[in-house]
Amino acid sequence: MSRRDPDIDKPATPDQLWKELIKKRFRDFVAFYKPDMFPEIVFEKTEFLDKELLSITGKTHKGLVDVLAKVHLKSNAIEFILLHVEVQGYPEEQFNARMFGYFIRIWDRYRKPVSALAIITPGFGKGKASAVFSFESFGTKLRYEYGLFDVRTLKYESCLRSTNPVAVAAGILASSGDVPLWKKKYEVMRRLGRLGLTSEEMHLLIGYVDRHSLLKGKALEQFDAHIVEEPEEVKMILTSFEEKAIKKGIEQGIEKGIEQGIEKGKLDAAQKMLTMGISVADIKKITGLSQSQIEGLRKKRKR
C-alpha cells in the first residue's frame, strides 16, 4: 500500500489527535477516563476554554496536551476539568509542580472546583508515575493530589470488548502480550468499524489508531492482507484504506469520464470522497475541482 503524499494530506500529529479526541468525543472520553464524574455532567453545556488555558499555562509544548473544560453539573454547580496528556510519555522532573501550578492559577481565576486528571502513555517507560505535589516549611504544609490514569495498565481484551469508541481506540496503546502490532491495529480498527458509527465519526478514531501504530514492510503487508477480507462498508472507513478508496474512486471516475466526460468523472469521485468524510480542501487538491463545485456537491448531498 502506498503512503500518503505529504503534498496532498499532512496527517495530524498525536498531540492534535488527542486534543480532537477529547473535544469531539468528550462524553465517551469522560465515561472511559473519568467515570466518577460521568453521571453528574450535563454534557450539552460543556465549554472548552482553549484561549483561557493558554494564557494560564503559557505556550504549548510538543508531546503535551492540555485541555480545560467548563462543565455544568446536574446539581446546577459549575466545575472545571483539567485534562493533561503526556503524549510522548517522557517523565518530567517538575511534572507534579507544574500540575499544581495549573490548578492554582485556574482556581485563582475562576474560584471554582478543579478536577485534574493526568493521562500517562506507554512512552513514559517502566517507572511509576506520581500524582502528588507536597511541601512543608516551618509549620506550613501543603499536599495536592490529582487524578492519574496510567494507560500502561489497560487490558487489551477489555478495550476490544467495550462499546465505547474511545475505550476501543485506547486498545492500540494497551499491552497485548504476544499479539503483534499489525494484528492489534487490525483488531482495534475492525472493532471500531463494527460500532455502527458514521464514516465522519470514524475518521478521527481511525486516524488516532493509525498514528499510534504506523506499520512498514512485512507488518504492513500482513495488515493489508487481513483488511482486504473485510466487508466493503468497513474497508471504506479505515484510514489505511482511505487512500486506496480515493485512488480507486479517481480511476473509476476517469474511466467513466472517457465515456461521459472527465468533469463528470471528477464530480463522481468527489462525491464518493465527501461520503467518506474527506475534507473539501483535500478533495480540491486531489481532483482539481473548484471549491464552489465541491461545496455544491456537499449541499446537494445534505438535501
Task: Looking at the structure, tell me whether residues 167 and 140 fall in a common domain.
Answer: no
Mark which of 153, 169, 194 sits at the end of a domain. 153
Task: Looking at the structure, tell me whether residues 231 and 267 fall in a common domain.
Answer: no
Q: What is the mean pLDDT of the chain?
A: 80
User: Per-residue pLDDT tens for 21-42?
Assistant: 999 999 999 999 999 999 999 9
Mark which of 125, 153, 181 sits at the end of a domain. 153
Local confidence band at 63 (pLDDT 50, 70, 90 cut-offs): low
Domain of residue 50, residue span:
34-153
Question: What is the count of structural domains for the chain?
Answer: 3
In a domain, 9, yes or no: no
Q: How far apart, in whole angstroms, are the C-alpha atoms of residue 201 and residue 113?
A: 32
Task: Count CB-CB contacts under 10 A for residue 227.
Answer: 20
Task: Looking at the structure, tell me whether residues 67 and 136 fall in a common domain.
Answer: yes
Of 156, 221, 219, residue with least CA distance to 182: 219
Local confidence band at 13 (pLDDT 50, 70, 90 cut-offs): confident
Do residues 85 and 23 lie in contact, with contact meaning Cβ atoms separated by under 8 Å? no
The DSSP bridge partners found for residue 84 are 66, 118
The pTM (predicted TM-score) of the whole model is: 0.71
What are the cell numbers at 282?
Answer: 483535500
Exposed (0-12), middle (13-18) or buried (19+): which is 193, by Cβ within 10 Å? buried
Give CA 83 to chain center in angstroms. Answer: 14
